[in-house]
Chain A
Amino acid sequence: ILSFFLAPCRRRIISEARNQSPSIFDHPRFPPLKRRMATATYPPPPPYYRLYKDYSENPSSAPEPPPPIEGTYVCFGGNYTTEDVLPSLEEQGVPQLYPKDSNVDYKKELRSLNRELQLHILELADVLVGRPSQYAKRIGDISSIFKNLHHLLNSLRPHQARATLIHIMELQIQQRKQAVEDIKRRREEAQRLLKDAFVTLDGQ
């Protein structure tokens, strides 16, 4: 036991003798220096870096980068698809509560879904008071209403994207028109100044 207490003191004295500040690395329990460095190195670069040896002289001697991925791919164990499309409600197994029309009136449907939601919440309150064991169906109804609401809102996003694009394009057209006007004005002013200068020169 005595040697255990003496050991850190001895190490501290030794490290101070070496003009190093004592640190926790000097504790005898910590792994020795050689083993520590092996666990701390970065992984080596991938071995095909040698193929790019002459890239600066001849860019076509090295292999091309891989083409962009199409279709589905696996990333960290999950499957992803390159096509970003909103999956329809039937694919998620949720009943669709608003009419499946190509031009659905979003405001009307959102408002009617809101009414349905309030009604179902009241029904749930009633069921919990009277027949508490039948809550599951009501909860299922409420959650499908929420899913419908979110699906409707998500299907508004492409419309929003197109509207944003239209807005940006209108802004850009306006800026370009402004720039054309500016350039015309400056050119005319420059012509005028030049003419004045010639007139003054000729007048001399």
Chain B
Amino acid sequence: MDIISQLQEQVNSIAAITFNAFGTLQRDAPPVQLSPNYPEPPPAAAAAAAAAADDPTTTAFPEQPKQLSADLVKAAKQFDALVAALPLSEGGEEAQLKRIAELQVENDLIGQELQKQLEAAEKELKQVQELFGQAADNCLNMKKPE
């Protein structure tokens, strides 16, 4: 894929990581105590949390922001690396158009030369074919070639 498409993909993936990160955090956040007057949650919630932590596939909640922010920073660094790899030739549009005009002139010249060589080669080919035809006819008629 060309570099500009890669850059666009990278921007989109940064956006995806961002909203996935915020969405995951909002979904998995444990409840916050609103006021010191309310009692602590019953220990049944603590047992459920321990059961979830034993499961190897679920990550514990305090580690999720670390992972998600690490992903985000990695994606941003990747974007910077891609920007550095952009082969932007300086000079802008006019320089490119000038170069295109030069290349067109050169292309025309060499096209004409190619055409000339081609015509000369075809002429010679016809001559050789004629000679060969004459020689073959002479051989057929058993005449001595002069």
A positions within 8 Å CB-CB of B: 102-103, 106-107, 110-111, 114, 117-118, 121, 124-125, 128, 142, 146, 149-150, 153, 156-160, 162-163, 165-166, 169-170, 172-173, 176-177, 179-180, 183-184, 186-187, 190-191, 194, 201
Contact = CB atoms under 8 A, between A and B. Distances in A.
A146 B96 contact: no
Contacts of A156: 4, 86, 88
Contacts of A150: 8, 11
Contacts of A146: 11, 15
A176 B110 contact: yes
B37 to A, nearest CB: 22
Contacts, number: 95
Contact of B4 (A153, A162, A169, A186): A153
Contact of B96 (A163, A176, A183): A163
Interface of B: 2, 4, 7-8, 11, 14-15, 18, 22, 26, 72-73, 76, 79-80, 83-84, 86-89, 92-93, 96-97, 99-100, 103-104, 106-107, 110-111, 113-114, 117-118, 120-121, 124, 128, 145
Contact of B76 (A118, A160, A172, A201): A118
A166 B99 contact: yes
B117 A177 contact: no
B83 A169 contact: no
A150 B128 CA distance: 63
Given A183-B117, A187-B120, 6 more contacts: A124-B22, A149-B11, A160-B2, A162-B96, A169-B103, A172-B107
Contact of B128 (A125, A149, A190): A190
B138 to A, nearest CB: 12
A162 B2 CA distance: 14
Contacts of A114: 76, 79-80, 83
Contacts of B121: 183, 186-187
B128 A194 contact: yes
A176 B124 contact: no
Nearest to A110: B83
17 contacts: A106-B88, A107-B88, A110-B7, A110-B79, A114-B76, A117-B76, A121-B18, A121-B72, A149-B11, A153-B7, A173-B103, A183-B114, A183-B118, A187-B121, A187-B124, A190-B128, A194-B128
A95 to B, nearest CB: 18
A179 to B, nearest CB: 6
B12 to A, nearest CB: 9
A176 B103 CA distance: 13
A186 B124 CA distance: 11
Contacts of B120: 187
B43 to A, nearest CB: 27
Contacts of A111: 80, 83
